[in-house]
Chain A
Amino acid sequence: MNLDALTEAVVKGKRKDAVELTQQAIRDGHDPEKIINTYLIPGLNRVGERFQKREIFVPEMMISAKTMQACVELLKPLIAKDTAPALGVIVIGTVFGDLHDIGKNLVKLLLESSGFKVVDLGENVPSQKFVEAARLHDASVVGLSSLLTTGDPYVEETVKAIKASDVGAKVRIICGGAALTPKFVEGQCGADAYAKDAADGVNKIKKLLEIAV
């Protein structure tokens, strides 16, 4: 079965077609993580490019995002495994002013399936909420997601607020999302790691916590 049609359905925002193709792919035994990484995410990346070139606009971007989300919902139960004791608690959220949550949700999914307990603070999260949640849940790692360049000051503010807080010495911070670069995250903000995608994120978190990869 040719799954390029799935990518196309995400680009065009054909939710019903995409859901049917995903169901078919699952029946055909395709690896769920591969479906996400090889067919769904590249589709959404193309959507981003077309948006930037002003070939499409916000409604088109939204319907593509919904399409992707519907497919991920089908794949989720196949990815999340029941794991024994958690490897650690990760607090995750999208920074203040930013409502993008698809990337963050995928990171959460992969972290959970890798054995971590994830506390999801949602989107548009102010810096203090990250600090409070890290304290409350005794987190090992805080993960920030930021897709908008206007979010840069909030990433920096949040990293600095965590580092300056009573939990600062214990908690590691990792950041990802389209707006960020390793230089900004690790250099200017002083976070512990930048992740280019969800798999990279899981690996780097394991490294930070000295868990064998």
Chain B
Amino acid sequence: MNQIGRDQIRLQVGFYPDWFYKHYGISFDKRYYFDPETRVEARLAIDKALYERFGDVGLGSAKPVPTPTITAGMITLPAVFGCEIVYENEAIPWAMPLNLSDEAVMKLEVPDILNSWPMTEWIKQIEYLKSKYGRVVGDINTTGVQNLALKLRGDQLYIDYFENPDLCRHLLEVCTESVRQMFEFNFKATGTGSVDVTPMADPKLATLVNCTIEQISNNTYEEFLLEYDNRIADAFQHVGLGVHHCGSVDQVLPGYAKLRHLKFVEVGFGSDVRNCRDVLGPDVAVNARISPVLMKNGSAGEVEAEVKRLIRDGAPLDSFSIDAVGLTYGTPDENVKIARRTAAEFGKIGTN
């Protein structure tokens, strides 16, 4: 992880697989996930490529060292439950929804996760990497309670919230316990619970993967999901809770404010960052995201203005960071550089 310095806020960039594939031929197909050595090599190539292109703004590494990494993307629990997983050279892996019937949902139980594919595969890889390199970094993405429920039930879950609350509760119970077991595995195996979700959280936190909460109202969140997210929070209170949220957080902020042991929230673009900091207080670190669409289609001036706006809204800066992830092929290099430079120049900690 490259930081320009310690006296300024972190601003990280993350490229979508198509960017690496189209520029450098680095593929994120099944082999990347299933062959640990392919992954070690890909990470070296990534570090080298980033250094050549963006070394002047602190990305990549001149002399990259092999990093034994475990990563799975957001597919492990869906696959354990039987979702088909689609791998592609230039996209993140994707789980196809099962669209289970009412009866099938009501019969669901927590599976024997550690003895199911692909967990068996990841466990083998972790052992291999530990024995060969003496360490392993990363963890297995835990999917998130509602994210997983949507993979199992499909969009029908949203109708169920109104018409079949009992079914929702049963499904969410099963999902929550599965997610809890994944966190438990991660903390035992590699000691982290955030790495496969976001590079911006303290890796030791248990970070909930709440990508789809943006689609629901605060009422629905508080009525159906808060209880389960808090169950995870309580189970891992010794490390603390993080939340990864996509899109605007504004409507569910009242719900998130009721999460226990909360230490970190990552909010998507469109969020009112100032309000988020005010509501959650200075002890909850916040990472704000820049839209990949702005990064691709906006001018350097617009990117600079957005970074400045976020810095202005994000104080206190010692617990604030920014990232621009999902940058796709066609994103101008200049926009990446200006984002990093603006953060270095205007994100000085202690001067705000």
User: Which A residues lie at the B interface, using CB under 8 A?
Assistant: 13, 15, 54, 56-60, 62-63, 66
A57: contacting residue among B155, B162, B163, B251, CB under 8 A: B251
A59-B251 Cα distance, complex, nearest whole Å: 14
Summarize A's interface: helix, strand, loop or mixed.
helix
Closest to A54 in B: B251
Q: What is the size category of the interface that chain B forms with chain A?
A: 10 to 19
A160-B215 Cα distance, complex, nearest whole Å: 34
Closest to A55 in B: B217
Chain B residues closer than 8 Å to A54, beta-carbon distance: 248, 250-251
Shortest Cβ-Cβ A-B pairs, 9 listed: A59-B158, A58-B215, A57-B217, A62-B158, A63-B162, A57-B216, A59-B161, A57-B215, A59-B216
A63-B157 Cα distance, complex, nearest whole Å: 11
A62-B217 Cα distance, complex, nearest whole Å: 13
Q: Judging by beta carbons under 8 Å apart, are B163 and A59 in contact?
A: no
Q: Given A54-B251, A57-B251, A62-B155, verify A13-B216 contact (CB < 8 Å).
A: no
Closest to A14 in B: B162
Chain A residues closer than 8 Å to B251, beta-carbon distance: 54, 57
Summarize B's interface: helix, strand, loop or mixed.
helix
Q: Judging by beta carbons under 8 Å apart, are A62 and B216 in contact?
A: no
Question: Nearest Cβ distance between residue B216 and chain A, in whole angstroms?
Answer: 5
Chain A residues closer than 8 Å to B161, beta-carbon distance: 59
Q: Judging by beta carbons under 8 Å apart, are A58 and B158 in contact?
A: yes
Q: Judging by beta carbons under 8 Å apart, are A60 and B217 in contact?
A: yes
Q: Judging by beta carbons under 8 Å apart, are A57 and B250 in contact?
A: no
A58-B163 Cα distance, complex, nearest whole Å: 15
At the interface, yes or no: B1 with Cβ under 8 Å from chain A?
no
At the interface, yes or no: B220 with Cβ under 8 Å from chain A?
yes
A66-B217 Cα distance, complex, nearest whole Å: 18
Q: Judging by beta carbons under 8 Å apart, are B250 and A59 in contact?
A: no
Q: Judging by beta carbons under 8 Å apart, are B158 and A63 in contact?
A: yes
A13-B158 Cα distance, complex, nearest whole Å: 12
Chain A residues closer than 8 Å to B248, beta-carbon distance: 54
Q: Judging by beta carbons under 8 Å apart, are A56 and B217 in contact?
A: yes
At the interface, yes or no: B159 with Cβ under 8 Å from chain A?
yes
Chain A residues closer than 8 Å to B217, beta-carbon distance: 56-57, 59-60
Interface string of B130-155 (1 = CB under 8 A from A): 00000000000000000000000001
A57-B248 Cα distance, complex, nearest whole Å: 12
Chain B residues closer than 8 Å to A66, beta-carbon distance: 159
Closest to A12 in B: B162
Chain B residues closer than 8 Å to A59, beta-carbon distance: 158-159, 161-162, 215-217, 220
Supply 15 further A-B pairs (C-beta < 8 A) apart from A57-B216, A59-B161, A62-B158: A54-B248, A54-B250, A56-B217, A57-B217, A57-B220, A58-B158, A58-B215, A59-B159, A59-B162, A59-B215, A59-B216, A59-B217, A60-B217, A63-B158, A63-B163
Question: Nearest Cβ distance between residue B307 and chain A, in whole angstroms?
Answer: 25
Q: Judging by beta carbons under 8 Å apart, are B216 and A15 in contact?
A: no
Most-contacted residue by chain B among A56, A57, A63 (CB, 10 A): A57
Chain A residues closer than 8 Å to B162, beta-carbon distance: 13, 59, 63
Closest to B162 in A: A63
A63-B163 Cα distance, complex, nearest whole Å: 9
Q: Judging by beta carbons under 8 Å apart, are B159 and A63 in contact?
A: yes
Interface string of B193-229 (1 = CB under 8 A from A): 0000000000000000000000111001000000000
Chain A residues closer than 8 Å to B163, beta-carbon distance: 15, 63
A62-B161 Cα distance, complex, nearest whole Å: 11
